[in-house]
Chains A and B, each alone.
Chain A
Amino acid sequence: MTRTYNISISNRIEETPRVTALIENEVFRAGFPQKDVYDILIAVDEILSNIVYYAYGEGGDGRIDVAFLIDDGKVELEFSDEGVEFDPLKKKDPDTSVPVDKREIGGLGIFLVKKLMNSVEYNRVGQKNKLRIIKLKTGE
Chain B
Amino acid sequence: MEINITKTDGTHEIFLSGRLDITWQEPLEKTVEEVFDENPKKVILNCEELTFISSAGLRVFMKAHKLSSTTGIELYIAKLNETTKKIFDITGYLSIFNLID
Query: Whole-angstrom distance between the alpha carbons of A53 and B15 in the complex?
Result: 28
Q: Kindly list chain A residues whose C-beta atoms are within 8 Å of the C-beta of B19.
A: 41
* Distance of A5 from chain B, by nearest CB (Å): 20
Query: Whole-angstrom distance between the alpha carbons of A35 and B92 in the complex?
Result: 20
Contact partner, B96, options A52, A100, A109, Cβ 8 Å: A100
Chain B interface SS verdict (over half): helix
Are B22 and A48 in contact (CB-based, < 8 A)?
yes
> Which of A11-19, A119-127, A129-137 lines the interface with chain B?
A11-19
> Is A139 at the interface (CB under 8 A from chain B)?
no
* Distance of B76 from chain A, by nearest CB (Å): 17
Q: Kindly list chain B residues whose C-beta atoms are within 8 Å of the C-beta of A116.
A: 90
Contact partner, B56, options A14, A45, A96, Cβ 8 Å: A45
Contact partner, A101, options B21, B56, B66, Cβ 8 Å: B66
Are A45 and B93 in contact (CB-based, < 8 A)?
no
Are A45 and B92 in contact (CB-based, < 8 A)?
no
Query: Whole-angstrom distance between the alpha carbons of A112 and B53 in the complex?
Result: 11
Q: Kindly list chain B residues whose C-beta atoms are within 8 Å of the C-beta of A7.
A: none
Query: Whole-angstrom distance between the alpha carbons of A46 and B52 in the complex?
Result: 13
Are A112 and B93 in contact (CB-based, < 8 A)?
no
Which residue numbers of A lie inside 8 Å of B, CB to CB? 13-14, 16-17, 20, 35, 38, 41-42, 45-46, 48-49, 52, 94, 96-101, 108-109, 111-112, 115-116
> Is B91 at the interface (CB under 8 A from chain A)?
yes
Are A101 and B65 in contact (CB-based, < 8 A)?
yes
Instruction: Pull 10 A–B residue pairs with CB atoms less than 8 Å apart, ordered by A.
Output: A13-B22, A38-B52, A41-B21, A42-B53, A49-B22, A94-B91, A96-B91, A97-B92, A101-B62, A115-B90
The chain A residue with its CB closest to the CB of B20 is A45
> Is B95 at the interface (CB under 8 A from chain A)?
yes
Q: Kindly list chain B residues whose C-beta atoms are within 8 Å of the C-beta of A52.
A: 22
